[in-house]
Amino acid sequence: MIIPKLKLCDGCGRKSRIWKNVDGKKLCKQCSHTGVAKLSIKPTAKSKPIAPRSQKRSKEERLYSINRVVFLQENPMCQAHLPGICTGQATEVHHKAGRIGRLLLDILHWLGVCHACHQYIENNRAEAMELGFSIKRIT
């Protein structure tokens, strides 16, 4: 067994076994535990927050915003026209097959609807599928 030599502690000034070397200060066990020498903690670099959307998706959404306005101008009346619910004017675009990936910009699956009809379609999936307002996403 190797017995370490007694050296002068920079914290308390007594000769003892050196337990820790903190920033060049040699400390005994007691001084290192009592915090005589404050450990210098290097500041860590702040990590960038995760973007809510990728750059690719942001470009798609900008293009979608333009296409949506054009689509609603070409289809000003609600295409669902559910009796007792419809308000008449199309203000929203319903994506029959969803908006994931390429489906966001696929005009073939768009439906110009009023807010009331859109809420009804979203809340009543089974009936919307029967009426052709929604398409099964998994084939």
pLDDT of residue 78: 96
Tell how far CA 115 is from the center of its chain: 27
Give the number of other CB atoms < 10 A from CB of residue 128.
21
pLDDT for 80 beyond 70: yes
What pLDDT, on the 0 to 100 scale, is given for residue 89?
95
Identify whether the C-beta of residue 97 lies closer than 8 Å to the C-beta of residue 104: no
Distance of alpha carbon 124 from the chain centroid: 28
Over the stretch 82-101, which tens digit does the pLDDT of each residue have? 999 999 999 999 999 999 98
Whole-number pLDDT of residue 40: 55
Query: pLDDT value at position 65?
Result: 96
How much is the pLDDT for 16? 84
Q: Which tens digits make up the pLDDT trace of 2-55?
A: 777 888 888 888 888 887 887 778 888 888 777 655 555 567 778 889 999 999
What SS3 state is found at 83?
A: coil
Alpha-carbon gap, residue 109 to 128, rounded angstroms: 14
Could you tell me the pTM of the whole model?
Answer: 0.63
The number of helices, as runs of H, and strands, as runs of E, in the chain is 4, 6
